[in-house]
A and B are shown apart, each in its own frame.
Chain A
Amino acid sequence: MALDHLNLDVPEGAIYALIGANGAGKTTAIKTMVNIHEPDSGRVEISGRGGESKDSRRLRGRDFESIGYVSENQKMPEWMTVDYLLQYLKPFYPAWDDSAAAALVRKFGLPGDRKLSQLSRGMKMKAALASSLAYHPRLLILDEPFSGLDPLVRDEFIEGLIESAEGTTILISSHDLAEIESFASHAGYLERGRMQFSEEMAALSARFREVEVTLGEPSGLPVNWPVEWLQPQTSPAVVRFIDTRFDEGTIGERVRGLFPRMTEISTRAMPLREIFVALAKEERRAA
């Protein structure tokens, strides 16, 4: 079972980062959302043109006038030139914006007369993104868009995305957490097909902390170690762990309850990448 009781609610206007280890079910979840895969049960509601919701299984033709999908796995019409790709797609979208398309081509430095097959991977992804932003979609779904891109191309891609997708709800799955962290407003963590958490980035950053406790004398880990404190590491007089429910007001008291001879406590905010690694390691350990 690739997805198991997955509940994912992407608020309108959000940039939602779907993260998870390889095989966690991110791509399956996304393909189910755009009706490439049909779920055995359950449903995905996608915001339609008029703002109404629609079961993803019923997504057809015109529903995609307001949905964009860019994936590293999607087969592109490689024989088309960039210009012809845009020219070909234009009649499909009533909201197609020629000036936006031209601006995206300029912004991404896309060679209009080159076939997609002759483009680098990064250029191909930019062409796919340009062709999906030119009609100002209400929802843009990006599946591993940065995979295999060099840092410069990645930056250009993100910059173009942020500039051109204002007001668009974006769902993005990626391993490039450092990049995602810079612009995502929400994050969801998928583990073996189940959503472990889904929240705003600010709240996520606020509740994850690396905690370092200095002890007055060497001590082992107590038996009643809290489950929300991950990856405890001990050295003779120092204990480090990751608190997944950090609360500045209570952390001192909770630590002191376990380590009465504690002399000092310090906390450090964690970037998304470290949070992800910590969770992934915990998942592997539990498995």
Chain B
Amino acid sequence: MNQASHIFAKDLRRLWPQVLVVSGLFILYGMTPPDRGGAGITALMEHGNSLAALVAIACWTLGANLVHEDGMAEESPFWLTRPYNRAGLLTAKVLFLFAFVFLPLVASGVLREARAGVSVTANLGTLIVLDLGVATWLILPALAIGAVSRNLTSFAAGVTSLAFAYYMVGRWFRWSMRTEDLALRSLVPDGPNIAAVLPMILAAIAVTGIQYAARKTRWSQVALTMAVIGSAFMMHLNGVELLSARVVNPPGFDLNRVRISFDETVPPRVAPEVDRTLRGPCPAMALKVDGLPRGMMLRQSQPVQGQADSPLAGIRDIDKATLEQTAEGYREYVCVPGPFTNARETIRLSPNFAVVAVETVATFPARRGSFVAGNAGRCEILVPFPENTQVRCDLEEPLIGSYSAGLEYPGYGVYSASFFPSNGPVRMSPVSLAKFDGVSFDRPGGWPFEEAFVRQDARFVLRTERVVGYLQRDLVYHDFVHPWQYPLLRPIPPPPGRKK
């Protein structure tokens, strides 16, 4: 008898409803068009993707229940006094998660790629490699925390406790290093930091192994907590290193010379579609930026902190603001919370900016087709769905910094936001899908590609971006007025020779 397959069949008999839910969510995800910039399948783990969050929760719940079926942390589990082969037991669990989490994940990626018009066969290897990374986060925590918890409630408590431990390390760093004085509020960079998450991954593997081999629950819980704290420290230390190595003394110029302020001579304006997307009035407020050397631009890191202060409405916190660079300059979409009164109010905002060295790699016409992207590789403009456009590029690797795409024509320019604030090499997926649509989620100004496609002078610009430093500025807008008083954003200039 193969004990692992016997236990596998038992678990399937028990957990098939959950398997159906997870598979259904993966199918749903596969049917969803790529909606964010960056590598398509890795968008599963992107922040703010509610379906991805559902998938993750469903996978974790399935994984935890699977482990609890033959629990490791219970004092007297049923299996312990039966002739279970522990290696077979662990094998059964791993096989189960492979079959019902990893394979559906790959299948959803294949489905997504096929629907996006990307060659599945050409990219299957990359997809599997990328999905191994994603599956690590969908499977390992469930296995490890499941192995040191008794039921779903204690599993949730374990997850919460570990998240809290991680959070407290960040708080301690901020408190002890007085980061208010430094440029970067969030010390953890957005980009991948394998070295920092390695302790967590190794600890999760070790704890799972130890629990299945020897059931040392207390030790395992301690080890897991220490690994999370260690990872949190390493991540924050990495941020501190960024600060000390590159932020305080970035090569080439003095960050203190960069002056940023609200330009109150330009009235705030609204884009109705932007307000709808961001769920509230988020007027575009012009920024005045001086001292930024040629070839460099600003990017903004989250989170943003700020306050709106009105004599009638009182002080409200602002936690969402998005920076955009256009041909007209920078503007900040500041989401001001209500209530709104007729009184003028003061807006204070403290964004964290990354100073990015920009280099244009290639330009190509903004229309359907395949184009050589300079020496970087090849790009293809696809319109797989009526409502969006994608730029897919096969690019050279490894990359120092990151790639971004921009749409430009005379009088207009807007650039994709995806970038990694790290100067280390970053491997890009050959399946890099970037969506541009009229109300792109992460570009408040939208991507007017419909306009662009009918013009002859519009072009896509492929650029590399490399972070050279960070800075934080306190911005004050003194006479802020009510949202309904904003004029609309200036319409996009029509192509030459076209009637208004």
Contact = CB atoms under 8 A, between A and B. Distances in A.
A69 interface: yes
A79 B14 contact: yes
Given A79-B14, A88-B10, A62 B78 contact: no
A224 interface: no
Nearest to B75: A36
Contacts of B265: none
Contacts of B246: none
A92 B10 CA distance: 13
B264 interface: no
Contacts of B78: 74-77
Contact of A61 (B69, B74, B77, B85): B85
A67 B74 CA distance: 20
A84 B12 CA distance: 14
A79 B82 CA distance: 18
Interface in A66-87: 67, 69, 71, 73-77, 79, 84
Contacts of A31: 76
A98 B497 CA distance: 90
Contacts of B14: 79
Contact of A71 (B3, B71, B76, B82): B76
B83 A92 contact: yes
B385 interface: no
B252 to A, nearest CB: 63
B1 interface: yes
Interface string A172-216: 000000000000000000000000000000000000000000000
A71 B69 CA distance: 19
Contact of B83 (A76, A77, A84, A93): A93
A216 B71 CA distance: 69
Question: Which of B6, B13, B83, B85 gathers most chain A CB within 10 Å?
Answer: B83
A71 B81 CA distance: 11
A73 B81 contact: no
Interface string A57-68: 000111111010
Question: Which of B10, B14, B80 gathers most chain A CB within 10 Å?
Answer: B80
A123 interface: no
B6 A91 contact: yes
A64 B82 contact: yes
Interface SS of A by simple majority: mixed
Given A61-B85, A92-B82, A75 B10 contact: no
Q: How large is the interface on A (under 10, 10 to 19, 20 to 34, 35 or more residues)?
A: 20 to 34
A67 B82 CA distance: 8
Contact of B76 (A36, A63, A91): A36
B83 A36 contact: no
A61 B84 contact: yes
B482 interface: no
A65 to B, nearest CB: 5
B86 interface: yes
B86 A60 contact: yes
B76 A92 contact: no
Contacts of A93: 83
Question: Which of B82, B84, B85 gathers most chain A CB within 10 Å?
Answer: B82
A89 interface: yes
B81 A92 contact: no
A96 to B, nearest CB: 11
Nearest to B79: A77
B443 to A, nearest CB: 50
Interface string B389-402: 00000000000000
A84 B83 CA distance: 17
A89 B76 contact: no
A34 interface: yes
A64 B77 CA distance: 14
Interface of A: 31, 34-36, 60-65, 67, 69, 71, 73-77, 79, 84, 88-89, 91-93
28 contacts: A34-B81, A36-B75, A36-B80, A61-B83, A61-B85, A62-B83, A62-B85, A64-B83, A64-B84, A67-B81, A69-B81, A71-B76, A74-B76, A74-B81, A75-B74, A75-B76, A75-B77, A75-B78, A76-B78, A77-B69, A77-B78, A88-B6, A88-B10, A89-B82, A91-B1, A91-B6, A92-B3, A92-B6
Interface of B: 1, 3, 6, 10, 13-14, 69, 71, 74-78, 80-86
Closest 6 CB pairs of A and B: A69-B81, A91-B1, A64-B83, A92-B83, A61-B85, A65-B83
